Amino acid sequence: MAPSGQLNETINSSRCLSLATPTTPLQIRPYEPSDWPAVWALLEPVFRAGETFPHDPAITPEQAEVAWVEQSQAVMVAVDATGVLVGTYYLKPNSLTLGAHVANAGYVVAEHYRRQGIGSRLCQHSLQTARRLGFRAMQFNLVVSTNIAGIRCWQRNGFQVVGTLPGAFRHRQLFYVDALVMVQGLVEGPKP
Amino acid sequence: MAPSGQLNETINSSRCLSLATPTTPLQIRPYEPSDWPAVWALLEPVFRAGETFPHDPAITPEQAEVAWVEQSQAVMVAVDATGVLVGTYYLKPNSLTLGAHVANAGYVVAEHYRRQGIGSRLCQHSLQTARRLGFRAMQFNLVVSTNIAGIRCWQRNGFQVVGTLPGAFRHRQLFYVDALVMVQGLVEGPKP
């Protein structure tokens, strides 16, 4: 994981006003190895459900740590006012060298803390982080079409659906469902 | 690389009639380790050019062997009537477990053997191989928009553009150019 010591910050605003509670103090800071047990507690039910991420639902904690932390360029966690770790995201290049100026990210919010705008704050924070790291765009490759809350949140935060992949995700409950490709540019004005 | 001994076959037909020379004998067979020097001779100028694949243009032969062979589920080579290795493709799952029913493939044809339909034959062969291996679709994630010959060939062979990724490829000569996502379903009829 790349150093990200300068990315620690607190975000109190949210563009997802309809869902967010902007007054909730929420610290978003870089992941530390001691966070892993709490991060795994967030990730495990999401991976096991097999509804949003393509990872093996039987993934082990060790495999999940490689996937979420080791293979990422930056990992952040969101901590609420009581010190509870309520969310996390990873950020990494979406492709090899000649596509590495496009970022990819993934987000998880603890089940009991959803519908409070935390996903939106993580998304906004990840966009800031991506800009700071020099990425020119962010792309989600396999947004499960049944993940309506996620799709709406990302659209509110500037992402656009650029394509639909028929039956590209094997949903654990619904079998083969469509997946979306979503993209957001991070640079303004004419190309250099 | 997965065993693929039953995939050896000769293809003499092509749907790219306008470009193909269907009477040219062309054997398409599984890659063998002794093919590597000839395969690398095909791949090297393509990677160095930085116009179609996202790999580092300074990729080493060892890195290329990992990327093309070791990380693939099947690798094939095309050999002409005189025994010259004139093309190759790889085939692999496009994503993790819950997206692993979609295949991904990449093709290279030797420079002096282009515009003879060999790319089309490799594409058709890869679709057959993907069906045989149980894939339900094939997807290309980052088709460089300036690769007109490739796009036309894949469209002739059943692929559709499902989305455009603005500026997603850093072309070595043209800087940031758009890339396309192309998809083809491999199963007929209603979903199981």
Torsion of CA A28, A38, A116, A183, to 10 degrees: 60
Tens digit of each residue's pLDDT (9 = 90 or more) over B46-85? 999 999 999 999 999 999 999 999 999 999 999 999 999 9
* Nearest CA-CA partner of B168 in A187, A128, A89, A155: A187
The ipTM is: 0.87
Alpha carbon of A161: minimum distance to chain B alpha carbons (Å): 9
What pLDDT does A174 receive? 84
Report CA B170 to chain centroid distance, whole Å: 20
pLDDT for A2 beyond 50:
no
pLDDT for A71 beyond 70:
yes
What is the separation, in whole angstroms, between the first and last Cα of chain A?
Answer: 29
The answer to whether A85 and B128 have CB atoms below 8 angstroms apart is no
- Asked if A162 lies within 8 A of B163 by C-beta distance, the reply is yes
Which amino acid type is present at position A142? L
Phi first, then psi, for residue B85 (nearest 5°) are -80, 110
pLDDT for A159 beyond 70:
yes
- Selected residue of B48, B52, B98, B102 to mutate for chain A interface (largest A Cβ count, 10 A): B98
What pLDDT does A15 receive? 36
Angle between helix axes B148-156 and B118-132 (nearest 10 degrees) is 50
Residues near A112 by Cβ (< 8 Å), separated by ≥ 6?
Answer: none
Stretch A2-17: mean pLDDT, rounded?
39
Alpha carbon of B28: minimum distance to chain A alpha carbons (Å): 28
Alpha-carbon distance B76 to B32, whole Å?
A: 9
- Asked if B169 lies within 8 A of A53 by C-beta distance, the reply is no
- Asked if B142 lies within 8 A of A167 by C-beta distance, the reply is no
What pLDDT does A24 receive? 65
Q: What is the pTM of this model?
A: 0.88
Could you give the C-alpha distances from B140 to A82, A180, A185, B16, B123, in angstroms and in order? 46, 14, 21, 19, 12
* Nearest CA-CA partner of A103 in A117, A115, A89, A93: A93
> Which of chain A's residues have a Cβ under 8 Å away from the Cβ of B56?
96-98
Number of Cα atoms under 13 Å in the Cβ half of residue B146: 16
What pLDDT does A190 receive? 54
* Nearest CA-CA partner of A153 in A186, A103, A108: A108
Alpha carbon of A44: minimum distance to chain B alpha carbons (Å): 16
